[in-house]
């Protein structure tokens, strides 16, 4: 059962081959059996999942079901869930129970999905390995000694290990695509504004975007279709109809213009990864796509620009964690100031503190122009590069990450090398574009991801291209060896 695609599960549920309760129970049993080794979940919500499964079975019996009714999923622990702890991977929020559901949670609930639990993540989504979680690191199901990538490492590992067919995730600088690549699954980060941020605990508001992880592009298409859309509670969400993503998956790629930026094949790229990407591009060529080089001259500035903009917003977004109204409060402080200081010192981990400090610095009087303002100007240049490229190309492709999954602890003392994991992904967030990662082979038994970047609101085209590739390959069907 755990290896079935969303489409297979839909069919099985509709045909009453199995019930949603049975399906949900089998997922919960698999979580119970395997997650001890992965640590991909922070919270398991078995009762809630089963209650939703029973309701879904009633809907299925009435014939009042949609494509996702009765199908289980996991939410990244950054999405607020009413009545269930939303920790964001932090000690600061390990007792926080939101009185509301995130819009994403609400929509997937309404679609009839069954929430199995909440996935582990880098603290406040700050990290590229899921090692900064207060709840311990997540292990990569392909090699338990290695990281799953991050920050949505819990969601990626859980999908790869077949604990769930779908998992929500978020991407501020690569947090969907990089772990998807490292775990050998499909992940899509939509256009900024396509999925509501309401109830998504903010890291960097102008970059954060919710998305979906699945084993295949087809499964992801169903998930994204249910999540996306305008939300009046998020001023930055865009009022624009949502395409029927599954409907265009079968479209031909003949004549699709694919641009390959030379800047993405720099010295930092693992030659094995480069080889897999080259092979994948050859498959697209066989599918009728036209492939040519393109230049994104400002791409090398993405990391420095990102590490000014994101910490700046983070330093402000995380100011609300003062121990006054919710979250961790230090005990026995003798005055207000001391309470706030100690609560924050105890509640936040090292990487979060580092980014708050950097962000506070770049916004300070005397430094604002040199850092924040300059970064915003360069951010526009990075965007303009993409727009110029999209004049001649439909999709930009390259490696998702410069290397495969690294060993636990390998980069924890070297923040810069950790930041460079996102060297190809952060530009997309700075520009607000949609992008996906799909598995395209292995290096030393570890998955490699192909990065597909589209123009604004071209999610349907990205999923279509990814799906067509997956019709010609079976990388997305491979099971991780380290478990089972």
Among 53, 138, 169, 201, interactor with other proteins by CB under 8 A: 201
Active site includes 151?
Answer: yes
All residues at 6 or more sequence positions from 335 whose CB lies less than 8 Å from its CB, including other chains: none
The answer to the question of residue 412 lying near other proteins (CB under 8 A) is no
The answer to the question of residue 431 lying near other proteins (CB under 8 A) is no
The answer to the question of residue 86 lying near other proteins (CB under 8 A) is yes
Nearer to other proteins, 169 or 183 (CB): 169
Structure token pair of residue 103: 């819009």
Interface of this chain with other proteins, residues 159 to 178, rule: CB under 8 A? none
Q: Which residues of 119-145 are buried (b: 16+ CB within 10 A; e: fewer)?
A: bbbbbbbbbbbbbbbbbebbbbbbbee
Considering the complex, what minimum distance in angstroms separates the CB of residue 232 from other proteins? 7
Q: Which of 40, 175, 196, 216 is catalytic?
A: 175
Considering the complex, what minimum distance in angstroms separates the CB of residue 431 from other proteins? 15
Rg (CA), the chain: 21
What is the per-residue binding string for other proteins in 319-338, x denoting contact by CB under 8 A?
xxxx-xxxx--------x--
The answer to the question of residue 93 lying near other proteins (CB under 8 A) is yes
Active site includes 76?
Answer: yes
Among 14, 248, 316, 383, interactor with other proteins by CB under 8 A: 316
The answer to the question of residue 8 lying near other proteins (CB under 8 A) is no
Identify which range of 24-32, 99-107, 241-249, 255-263 contacts other proteins by CB under 8 A. Answer: 99-107
Considering the complex, what minimum distance in angstroms separates the CB of residue 8 from other proteins? 34
Phi first, then psi, for residue 36 (nearest 5°) are -55, -35
Structure token pair of residue 215: 């084993």
Q: Which of 4, 20, 65, 76 is catalytic?
A: 76
Active site includes 319?
Answer: no
Q: Which residue in 122, 97, 96 sits closest to 327, CA to CA? A: 96
Number of residues in contact with other proteins under rule CB under 8 A: 45
What is the per-residue binding string for other proteins in 357-396, x denoting contact by CB under 8 A?
---x--xxx--x---x------------------------
Among 23, 115, 202, 382, interactor with other proteins by CB under 8 A: 202
Q: Which of 129, 132, 151, 155 is catalytic?
A: 151
Residue 439 Cα to chain centre, angstroms: 15
Binding site for other proteins (CB under 8 A): 79-80, 86, 88, 93, 96, 98-100, 102, 197-202, 204-206, 232-236, 312-313, 315-316, 318-322, 324-327, 336, 340, 360, 363-365, 368, 372
Q: Which residues are catalytic?
A: 76, 151, 175
């Amino acid at each position: 059962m755990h290896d079935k695609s969303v489409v297979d599960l839909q069919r099985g549920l509709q045909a009453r081959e199995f019930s949603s309760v049975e399906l949900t129970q089998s997922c919960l049993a698999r979580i119970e059996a395997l997650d001890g080794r992965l640590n991909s979940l922070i919270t398991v919500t078995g009762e809630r999942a089963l209650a939703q499964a029973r309701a879904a079975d009633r809907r299925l019996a009435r014939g009042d079901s949609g494509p996702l009714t009765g199908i289980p999923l996991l939410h990244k622990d950054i999405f607020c869930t009413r009545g269930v702890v939303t920790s964001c991977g932090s000690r600061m929020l390990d007792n926080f129970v939101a009185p509301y559901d995130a819009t994403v949670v609400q929509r997937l609930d309404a679609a009839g999905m069954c929430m199995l639990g909440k996935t582990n993540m880098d603290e406040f989504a700050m990290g590229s390995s899921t090692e900064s979680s207060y709840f311990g690191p997540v292990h990569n199901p392909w090699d338990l000694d290695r990281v799953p990538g991050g920050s949505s490492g819990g969601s990626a590992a859980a999908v790869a290990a077949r604990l769930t067919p779908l998992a929500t995730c978020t991407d501020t600088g690569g947090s969907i695509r990089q772990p998807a690549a490292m775990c050998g699954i499909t992940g899509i980060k939509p256009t900024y504004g396509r999925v509501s941020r309401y109830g998504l605990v903010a890291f960097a508001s102008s970059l954060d975007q919710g998305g979906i992880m699945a084993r295949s592009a087809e499964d992801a298409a169903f998930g994204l279709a249910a999540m996306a859309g305008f939300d009046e509670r998020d001023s930055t969400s865009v009022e624009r109809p949502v395409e029927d993503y599954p409907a265009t998956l079968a479209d031909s790629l003949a004549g699709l213009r694919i641009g390959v930026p030379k800047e993405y094949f720099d010295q930092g790229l693992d030659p094995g990864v480069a080889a897999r990407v080259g092979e994948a591009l050859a498959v697209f060529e066989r599918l009728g796509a036209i492939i040519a080089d393109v230049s994104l001259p400002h791409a090398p500035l993405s990391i420095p620009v990102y590490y000014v903009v994101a910490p700046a917003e983070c330093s402000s977004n995380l100011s609300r964690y003062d121990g006054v109204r919710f979250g961790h409060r230090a005990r026995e402080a003798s005055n207000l100031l001391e309470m706030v200081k100690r609560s924050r010192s105890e509640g936040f981990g090292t990487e979060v503190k580092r980014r708050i400090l950097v962000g506070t610095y770049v916004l300070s009087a005397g430094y604002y122009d040199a850092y924040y303002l300059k970064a915003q100007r360069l951010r526009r240049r990075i965007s303009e590069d993409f727009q110029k490229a999209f004049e001649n190309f439909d999709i930009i492709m390259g490696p998702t990450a410069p290397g495969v999954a690294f060993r636990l602890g390998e980069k924890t003392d070297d923040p810069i090398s950790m930041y460079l994991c996102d060297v190809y992904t952060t530009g997309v967030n700075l520009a607000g574009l949609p992008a996906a990662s799909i598995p395209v082979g292995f290096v030393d038994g570890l998955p490699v991801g192909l990065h597909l970047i589209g123009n604004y609101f071209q999610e349907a085209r990205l999923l279509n291209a990814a799906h067509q590739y997956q019709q010609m390959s079976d990388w997305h069907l491979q099971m991780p060896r380290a478990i089972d």
